Amino acid sequence: MRASTLFSLAAASASTAAHLPHNTHTPVLARDDNPGCTADSFNDFDWSISDIVYNTSIVFSTPAHQVPSGIVQFNLTNPALTYTAVCKAFSSQLSGFFYGDIVYTCTEPSNATSTTFTFNAGTQLLDVNQTWTCSDEDAEYPDTFTYAGAVNLTLDCSATSYQNPNWTLGEIFLQNTTYCTQDDVTITPYLATAVA
Ligand SMILES: *[C@@H]1O[C@H](CO)[C@@H](O)[C@H](O)[C@H]1NC(C)=O
Ligand SMILES: *[C@@H]1O[C@H](CO)[C@@H](O)[C@H](O)[C@H]1NC(C)=O
Ligand SMILES: *[C@@H]1O[C@H](CO)[C@@H](O)[C@H](O)[C@H]1NC(C)=O
Ligand SMILES: *[C@@H]1O[C@H](CO)[C@@H](O)[C@H](O)[C@H]1NC(C)=O
Ligand SMILES: *[C@@H]1O[C@H](CO)[C@@H](O)[C@H](O)[C@H]1NC(C)=O
Ligand SMILES: *[C@@H]1O[C@H](CO)[C@@H](O)[C@H](O)[C@H]1NC(C)=O
Ligand SMILES: *[C@@H]1O[C@H](CO)[C@@H](O)[C@H](O)[C@H]1NC(C)=O
């Protein structure tokens, strides 16, 4: 038996950014000093989210034994930085996999930046926070930026179900998979703070 369905949900987009004034001095070790880092952190700032994948799979090796697995991943580009944050999370939590309650940490090639996200597969809300530091304009008092943003994804998913018609032990009894794609999106922060 093999069945296929397609579904997608409607979109919404992000809100406006607010810049708080510089106020305190925070000593930091790690920072990015590429030219434009500070200016690009302020001007019409948007993150770009690309390579978005959301897949789930439930494999029954017997009628009574199931192995669920879900993965969500994407790349996040900050126009002020020269590198990309790679964000990836796995879940075996039935039946929704991602509920927006666990904060996952992205990886990036610099310890000057910290990126976290939550994902709710039910509502498709992707929530992103990033903190980074620019010292291109002022090496003594670098600016540290902490921005928060969110986007409702519009995943395009196809589900496939396979049931073994003549199952014997050692074979897969049933397998349900979902594979979702998503166009690249931009996120405008709803919260933006800068501290120098
Ligand atoms: C970040 O990396 C730099 C260079 O490797 C190092 O000097 C610094 O101590 C690190 N900072 C933290 C907070 O780990
Ligand atoms: C996403 O990031 C990974 C790790 O840096 C990289 O291998 C991959 O090429 C990136 N994808 C794009 C389209 O930038
Ligand atoms: C991001 O920061 C906002 C504001 O501090 C917070 O409400 C939210 O839970 C954070 N989200 C993540 C993914 O860390
Ligand atoms: C996501 O959708 C919900 C429900 O429609 C809406 O309340 C919320 O403002 C949206 N969030 C964003 C970041 O667009
Ligand atoms: C597998 O997928 C089929 C078709 O989408 C669905 O009817 C069935 O409930 C699913 N089974 C499990 C265990 O998720
Ligand atoms: C089911 O598999 C068994 C073992 O391979 C075989 O003997 C039997 O004929 C198969 N039955 C059907 C309906 O295919
Ligand atoms: C997601 O599923 C598709 C289709 O099965 C597969 O091509 C892709 O490699 C999967 N990606 C990940 C990250 O699991």
Model-level pTM? 0.82
Residue nearest to atom 11 of ligand 6 (CA): 166
The domain tally of the chain equals 1
The CATH code of the domain that includes 105 is 2.40.350.20
- Tokens found for residue 82: 């020269």
The per-residue b/e assignment along 53-89, b for 16 or more CB within 10 angstroms, e otherwise, is: ebbbbbbbbeeeebebebebbbbbbbebbeebbebeb
Q: Are 133 and 142 in contact (CB under 8 A)?
A: yes
Which residues lie across from 118 on neighbouring strands?
A: 127
Q: Which atom of ligand 7 is nearest to the CA of 177?
A: 5
Residue nearest to atom 6 of ligand 3 (CA): 148
Instruction: Provide the domain limits for residue 109.
Output: 5-195
Per-block average pLDDT, block size 10, for the chain (196 residues)? 24 30 47 89 94 96 94 97 97 94 96 96 97 92 95 97 93 95 97 92
Q: Which ligand is nearest to the CA of 131?
A: 3
Ligand 2 interacting residues, C-beta cut-off 6 A: 50-51, 75, 84, 86
pLDDT of residue 102: 97
Residue nearest to atom 7 of ligand 7 (CA): 179
pLDDT of residue 29: 52
Q: Which atom of ligand 2 is nearest to the CA of 86?
A: 2
Q: Which atom of ligand 7 is nearest to the CA of 179?
A: 2
